């Protein structure tokens, strides 16, 4: 997997998801989906009712999670919008795993 990642390149993206995304296990499902895709980063609730975080990993996998954050989310969530910022290529992952931050 490491060799593949070097060819493809690693991507880091910040995200913020708006809608009914708190109190619906959104963070837990996001963490589960990220782990399934082999991504690292973090997710947390904000004081203004959104969920934000950072995703890092192979570009194609990051794109899959972006799509999931845009369209799917947790079963009870209602996503109104997902914003992605600070997208950049990175040479190494900056996180060990995908964490839920309080």
Whether 3 is covered by a domain: the verdict is no
Half-sphere exposure of 100 (CA within 13 A, CB side): 12
Integer CA distances (angstroms), 22 to 4, 11, 43, 73, in order: 35, 26, 12, 11
Whether 60 is covered by a domain: the verdict is yes
35-90 pLDDT, tens per residue?
999 999 999 999 999 999 999 999 999 999 999 999 999 999 999 999 999 999 99
Element (H, E) at 26: helix 26-37
Whether 4 is covered by a domain: the verdict is no
Whether 29 is covered by a domain: the verdict is yes
pTM of the predicted model as reported, rounded to 2 decimal places: 0.91
Whether 46 is covered by a domain: the verdict is yes
Give the residue numbers spanning the domain of 91.
Answer: 10-100
CATH code for the domain of 80: 3.30.70.100
d(CA 52, CA 47) in angstroms, rounded, equals 11
Query: Is the pLDDT assigned to residue 33 strictly greater than 70?
Result: yes
Whether 71 is covered by a domain: the verdict is yes
8-20 pLDDT, tens per residue?
699 999 999 999 9
Whether 1 is covered by a domain: the verdict is no
Residues with a known catalytic role? 27, 45
The DSSP letter of residue 73 is: -
């Amino acid at each position: 997997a490491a060799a593949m990642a070097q060819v493809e390149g690693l991507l880091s993206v910040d995200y913020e998801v708006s809608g009914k995304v708190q109190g619906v296990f959104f963070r837990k499902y996001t963490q589960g989906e990220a782990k399934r895709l082999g991504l690292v980063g973090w997710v947390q609730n904000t004081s203004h009712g959104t969920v934000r975080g950072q995703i890092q990993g192979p570009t194609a996998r990051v794109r899959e999670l972006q799509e999931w954050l845009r369209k799917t989310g947790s079963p009870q969530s209602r996503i109104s919008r997902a914003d992605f910022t600070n997208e950049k290529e990175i040479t190494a992952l900056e996180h060990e795993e995908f964490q839920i931050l309080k």
